[in-house]
Amino acid sequence: FIWGAAFCKILQVDSLQWKYVVPYLYYTVAFSMGVYCNMKSLQHSNVETVIVFRALTPCIVSLLDVLFLGREYPSRKSWTGLGLLVLGAYGYALKDPQFQTQGYDVYFWP
């Protein structure tokens, strides 16, 4: 679309520069891996389980923010909220019928 508009002289488009393209490629690969993992999870588990475990994402992101972006650790109030997320996911796992029959293997795919 953009190149078509540039070809028709509707837009002025700069050439691609790899120093700007590479960060977006990292994002694209990471996004594609996330979609792939989500599909594999849905293949082996039910939707409710995937939603509960995706709700744990803020726990991981908050720690990665500290490690890679140099941000502060979450506040005490935030830790309380993250802890409630973990407890909720654990409570769901205890009541999940698949977990009760198959154990932890139901949450991992080969």
Q: What is the pLDDT along the chain (110 residues), one digit of tens a residue?
A: 888 988 898 988 888 889 989 989 999 999 999 899 888 888 877 788 888 888 888 999 999 999 999 999 999 999 999 999 999 988 887 887 776 666 666 666 66
State residue 54's pLDDT score. 84
SS (H, E, C) the chain: CHHHHHHCCCCCCCCCCHHHHHHHHHHHHHHHHHHHHHHHHHHHCCHHHHHHHHCCHHHHHHHHHHHHHCCCCCCHHHHHHHHHHHHHHHHHHHHCHHHHHHHHHHHCCC
